[in-house]
């Protein structure tokens, strides 16, 4: 009953189209992250699922049931707001049992379910404290508990960690994930932070400009991005992408990347995929998949322009500003002076159609 199906969902605000025909099937009990930059339509999608907005076109199904016309209080949806929207004029207990009281449950049931939820979230000692002035992690747990006590089939979380500082975010991510395992509900999690999406979600739905770009497991999205947007957006730093033309060298098919020179020959799978390209292609590889190549092997010769050392990893900025290549190495790696000979692992190379930006995959 708690699977969610979005069919051809469109949302327009006046002349602005926030959502252009979105189709998405979310399985029962799945933790899905809607990931994308600001204004990509992820919050709009979430608000439509919650019933706070009505779609201009399209349908939402919970299980088999069409949700058109069902008011937000009747959808069985738990919603955690970005700012938690805790009722600060009430005590923790009054916040926690608010939904139960408003829907007129018997007093005994209210007391039982409230104390069970408080126990689960470690809020028992705070129940009679005013909700005003509690710390952020308690507010977050309270916001989740306030929705969870209603036992919703679906949980929606709208960037719940964006108000939290970086160190604390890591703690909260683990906490949220373990809470989801306990509740076993379908969770839709909106975020612009790929780290949150990657670490918590079963599947990630990447969105941009109101269009769903790709849906897949975190590793699928990372390893086989459906298009150049996903390739660039996922990963830190994102994928290196350069436009070039296919060319045949003595060692096999390669890509002529203009100022960067000719790429090392493509591996068999990539070469097969490249056959689908009608003209120019985009040659991409992850910064993490780059290695120093010995002089005998084909590689890019690149001048080093900037070195960023961030603890365990070192990010190198190479090449020219027009064609900048980023490479990530372990901090221990010895980086030679002057021109670097770098080559991406052949299997890690991804090709995209230069016209449409979609990935060229082996059929």
* Binding region for other proteins (CB under 8 A): 50, 52, 71-74, 77-79, 81, 83, 85-87, 89-90, 98-99, 102-103, 146-147, 150
| Smallest distance, other proteins to C-beta of residue 35, A | 22
| Smallest distance, other proteins to C-beta of residue 91, A | 12
| Residue in the block written with tokens 């989801």 | 180
| Smallest distance, other proteins to C-beta of residue 127, A | 18
Between 74 and 184, name the residue whose CB sits nearer to other proteins.
Answer: 74
Q: For residue 63, what are the β-bridge partners?
A: none
User: What gap in Å lies between CA 363 and CA 348, rounded to an integer?
Assistant: 17
| Smallest distance, other proteins to C-beta of residue 183, A | 16
SS3 162: coil
| Smallest distance, other proteins to C-beta of residue 236, A | 31
Provide the CA 131 distance to its chain's centre, in angstroms.
31
- Of 361, 218, 362, 352, residue with least CA distance to 284: 352
Phi, psi of 307 (to 5 degrees): -120, 125
| Smallest distance, other proteins to C-beta of residue 146, A | 7
DSSP summary character for residue 293? P
Contact 187, 28 (CB under 8 A): no
Helix, strand, coil shares of the chain as percentages rounded to 5? 30, 35, 35
| Smallest distance, other proteins to C-beta of residue 132, A | 12
| Residue in the block written with tokens 């949150």 | 196
Between 97 and 196, name the residue whose CB sits nearer to other proteins.
Answer: 97
| Smallest distance, other proteins to C-beta of residue 156, A | 9
Between 3 and 90, name the residue whose CB sits nearer to other proteins.
Answer: 90
| Long-range contacts from 232-236, C-beta under 8 angstroms, 24+ separation | 233/35, 233/36, 233/37, 233/194, 233/206, 233/208, 234/194, 234/198, 234/206, 235/194, 235/286, 235/287, 235/288, 236/194, 236/195
| Smallest distance, other proteins to C-beta of residue 111, A | 17
Between 46 and 204, name the residue whose CB sits nearer to other proteins.
Answer: 46
SS3 229: helix
Between 98 and 168, name the residue whose CB sits nearer to other proteins.
Answer: 98
User: What gap in Å lies between CA 74 and CA 344, rounded to an integer?
Assistant: 53
DSSP summary character for residue 358? B
Phi, psi of 287 (to 5 degrees): -60, -30
Between 146 and 192, name the residue whose CB sits nearer to other proteins.
Answer: 146
| Smallest distance, other proteins to C-beta of residue 104, A | 9
Between 76 and 261, name the residue whose CB sits nearer to other proteins.
Answer: 76
Between 73 and 122, name the residue whose CB sits nearer to other proteins.
Answer: 73
Between 71 and 133, name the residue whose CB sits nearer to other proteins.
Answer: 71
Helix and strand numbers, DSSP H then E, in the chain:
10, 19
Distances (CA, A) of 139 to 87, 146, 159, 184, 266: 10, 10, 14, 21, 53
Provide the CA 313 distance to its chain's centre, in angstroms.
22
Between 37 and 73, name the residue whose CB sits nearer to other proteins.
Answer: 73
């Amino acid at each position: 009953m708690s699977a969610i199906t979005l069919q051809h969902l469109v949302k327009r605000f006046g002349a602005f189209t926030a959502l252009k025909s979105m189709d998405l099937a979310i399985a029962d009990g799945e933790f899905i992250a809607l990931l994308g930059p600001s204004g990509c339509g992820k919050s709009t999608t979430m608000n439509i699922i919650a019933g706070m907005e009505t779609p201009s076109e399209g349908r939402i199904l919970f299980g088999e049931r069409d949700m058109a016309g069902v008011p937000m209080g009747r959808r069985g949806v738990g919603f955690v707001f970005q700012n938690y929207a805790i009722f600060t004029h009430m005590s923790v207990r009054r916040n926690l049992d608010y939904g139960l009281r408003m829907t007129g449950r018997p007093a005994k049931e209210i007391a039982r379910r409230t104390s069970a939820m408080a126990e689960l979230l470690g809020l028992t000692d705070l129940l009679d404290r005013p909700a005003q002035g509690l710390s952020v992690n308690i507010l977050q747990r309270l916001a989740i508990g306030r929705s969870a006590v209603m036992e919703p089939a679906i949980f929606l979380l709208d960037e719940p960690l964006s108000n939290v500082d970086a160190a604390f975010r890591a703690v909260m991510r683990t906490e949220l994930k373990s809470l989801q395992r306990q509740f076993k509900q379908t969770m839709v999690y909106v975020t612009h932070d790929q780290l949150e999406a990657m670490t918590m979600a079963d599947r990630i739905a990447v969105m941009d400009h109101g269009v769903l770009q790709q849906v897949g497991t975190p590793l699928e999205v990372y390893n086989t991005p459906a298009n150049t947007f996903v390739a660039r957006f996922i990963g830190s730093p994102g994928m290196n992408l350069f436009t070039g033309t296919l060319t045949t060298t003595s060692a096999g098919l390669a890509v002529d990347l203009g100022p960067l020179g000719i790429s090392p020959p493509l591996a068999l799978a990539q070469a097969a995929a490249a056959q689908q390209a009608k003209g120019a292609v985009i040659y991409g590889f992850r910064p993490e998949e780059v290695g120093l190549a010995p002089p005998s092997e084909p590689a890019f010769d690149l001048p080093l322009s900037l070195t960023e050392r961030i603890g365990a990893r070192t990010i190198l900025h190479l090449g020219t500003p027009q064609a900048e290549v980023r490479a990530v190495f372990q901090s221990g790696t010895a980086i030679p002076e002057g021109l670097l000979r770098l080559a991406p692992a052949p299997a890690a190379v991804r090709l995209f159609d230069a016209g449409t930006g979609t990935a060229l995959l082996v059929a």
